[in-house]
Amino acid sequence: MTDHAAFFLAPKNSVHRQYEALRARYVEELPLAEVAARFEYSYGTVRNLCAEFQSNPEQPFFLSARQRRKKAEPKTPEPAAEARARARQARDQRIVALRKQENLSITEIAAILSQQGVPASGVTVMRVLRAAGIGKLHRRGLQERLDVLRPEQAPVADCWQLDLSPRRLHTDFGGLFLFAHDLARVHFDTLLERSGMPGSSVIPAGCAVRALLALKLWGLRRSAPVMAEALDPGLALFAGLNVMPKRSTLTEYSCRVHPEHCRRLMEGWHEATHGLGIPLGGGSSFDLDFHTIPYHGQDALVEKHYISKRSRSQMGILSMVARDAQARHFVYVDAQIRKKKRNEQILSFVDFWRAHTGAVPQELVFDSTFTTYANLVRLQERGIAFLTLRRRSRKMLQELAAKPKEQWRQIRLTNVGRTFRTPRVLEQKVRLRGYNGELRQMAIKDLRHDKPTLLLTNQWTTPAAQLVDRYARRMVIENTRADAIDFFHMDALSSAVPMNIDVDLQLTLMASTLYRLQATRIGNGMESAKPRTLFRKFVRAGADITIEADRIIVQLPRRTNNPYLRAAGYHNAAEPIPWLGNLPLHIRLA
């Protein structure tokens, strides 16, 4: 067979093979099996090929796949595609109409379309306007813009406009009312009046401080846009106002408060909270520390202080905080500290506590840089026990390394949360320059540190394990204090609501006490819970509030931790709230 004959009898082109197979089937009338064997098809392929040909023999069958696609008729658009096309066309017409009729900007047009349920980005609006041949607007001033795009303006805060008529409302800040009974029991407004806190006829001192305290209790960071919640009716009701005061009002109020007002408020607050009948600690042991609040402005009176969080010195406000070790809440704050007077602050706290309680603290725990050895003598003379670190020198470390191993004795710490519970201790009597007499020094190894830790104390009879355990708890307390400072946002001087630092610290002290009262009342393992934990489990909840003629009902939603609140008796409390028309406040738990 020649090559020309092979072209017809042994086709290699796929379309030619199909033609010859169909010709053999219908012209030569060969069986399907024989056609499949001759042209190297499977039986099923030949059968499908014949069925496709018989379905429409008039169509141009012997074409390649590419030629078939070219001759295929265009598909009709689907209904969904048509609907989308009409929606885009209507949107584009609306964009052009808004520009022509009302002379709106791109941002304003996009905002209006979004409100109408037709989302369109600024880029889309600009593209549509350009396609329509419409140019840019001239630059306009603030007064020329539409009121529709401005933030909703709340009424002026006024305690006389507080609406206590029967009605129902919903708030995202329902958990705040868990603290309302405690504020009523301490006669909060009377306390502020006695402290000399400033106020006005429309926003009294109680309403202004409660508004600030609400933000502090809720853990709202002032560096965040906290005033976006200013229109919440429950937040204003907690403060005793018709609406929350604006940001500028809160800032201006805090700047009117004199530091002496905060000090008198701190004294009165301790007396009031101790009268609640809940044990807050006997004032036997306190942890003292300095905390530097960063300052990012320009002020000739602001000094540089060391910030441990950033491991550097920078401009900041030096504050002192004292924390009751048993009650686990702040009892003393002071932001009026200059660098040259920082060593005397420990004595200022002792004087404050003696004037407040009639007795000096039993024990003070602080680090090595808190005060001087001369002030340790004054503490000793007043009969105050202290426990502090000692700075280590190279010579001291060399002397400790030379001590025989048998002089070091092993102790066992009772804090079950520690990994290293069996350190070795070397006790010595030492004399320090500036301190009259001897002190007890304990060198401690195997506490995870490379170098021994040195503790100084005037407590001679207390076991070494108890003292080491006490200072180790202070290190944990430092972490707790840092968490509280972060939760109560004390480090936010440059923020959405700038506040006077004395007011900020006093609010932190009061918020810390209120959370500790809540933890003590709840119990069941919550006594040592951090404010952040209490907020997450109990306070962070919305509520439906019903104001009736003779009472106010706060309905908290169903949550897994509600049994704790019910066991603590929150659902049985019905204290009259003075700033809410003396109406009893009832907490209902779903």
Task: Answer with the one of 18, 50, 71 that is the final residue of a domain.
Answer: 71
Mean pLDDT in residue range 562-577: 90
Asked if residue 90 and residue 26 are part of one domain, the reply reads: no
pLDDT at 140: 66
Which two structure tokens, joined as six digits, stand for 527?
A: 């006594």
Whole-angstrom distance, CA of residue 127 vs CA of residue 215: 44
The residue among 403 and 309 whose pLDDT is bigger is 403
**Residue 515 reports pLDDT greater than 80:** yes
**So what's the pLDDT on residue 223?**
45
C-alpha closest to that of 293 among 343, 223, 365, 353: 223
Considering the domain boundaries, does residue 373 fall inside one?
no
**Contacts of residue 174, Cβ cutoff 8 Å, sequence gap at least 6:** 234, 541, 542, 543, 544, 545, 554, 555, 556, 557
- Are 121 and 187 in a shared domain? no
Looking at the fold, whether 89 and 61 belong to one and the same domain comes out as: no
Within a domain: 354: no
Is 344 within a domain?
A: no
Q: Specify whether 103 is located in the same domain as 52.
A: no
Claim to verify: residue 178 and residue 206 sit in the same structural domain: yes
Statement: residue 467 has pLDDT above 50: yes
Pair 54, 14 in one domain:
yes
Residue 209 confidence class, pLDDT cut points 50, 70, 90: very high
Q: How far is CA 573 from CA 157, 168, 553, 567, 570, in A?
A: 29, 21, 11, 12, 5
Q: Does residue 336 lie within any of the structural domains?
A: no
Count of Cβ atoms closer than 10 Å to residue 420 Cβ: 12
What average pLDDT does the segment 42-66 reach?
75
Question: SS3 for 305?
Answer: strand
In tens, the pLDDT along 13-41 reads: 778 888 888 888 888 888 888 888 888 88
Q: What is the pLDDT of residues 92-117, one digit of tens each?
A: 988 888 888 777 888 888 888 887 88
Residue 195 lies in a domain: yes
Pairwise CA distance, residues 208 & 200, whole Å:
9
- For residue 415, what pLDDT is reported? 63
How many independent structural domains does the chain possess? 3
pLDDT value at residue 75: 54
Q: Is residue 117 domain-shared with residue 92, that is, in the same domain?
A: yes
Q: Are residues 138 and 192 in the same domain?
A: no
Q: What is the pLDDT of residue 273?
A: 84
Query: What is the reported pLDDT for 493?
Result: 44
576-577/438-445 β-pairing: unpaired
Structural domain including 25 reads 3-71
More confidently predicted of 439 and 415: 439
- pLDDT over 70, % of the chain: 83
Does 203 fall in a domain?
yes
User: Average per-residue pLDDT in the chain?
Assistant: 82
* Residue at which a domain ends, from 18, 43, 71: 71
Q: Is 585 within a domain?
A: yes
pLDDT band at 478 (very low <50, low <70, confident <90, very high): low
Amino acid 148: pLDDT? 45
pLDDT of residue 427 exceeding 60: yes
Q: Which of 149, 182, 211 is the last residue of a domain?
A: 149
Across residues 488-504, what is the average pLDDT? 66
The amino acid occupying position 561 is N
User: Tell me: the pLDDT tens digits for 313-365?
Assistant: 888 888 888 888 877 778 888 888 888 888 999 999 999 888 888 889 999 99
The pTM for the full model equals: 0.68
pLDDT value of position 494: 40
Residue 477 has pLDDT above 90, yes or no: no
Highest mean pLDDT among 209-223, 355-369, 535-549: 535-549
Q: pLDDT at position 303, please?
A: 82
In the chain, DSSP finds a helix count (H) and a strand count (E) of 21, 15
Task: Give mean pLDDT, residues 567-589.
Answer: 91
Q: Assign residue 102 the CATH number of its domain.
A: 1.10.10
Q: Are 115 and 134 members of one domain?
A: yes
Instruction: Kindly state whether residue 156 falls inside one of the protein's structural domains.
Output: no
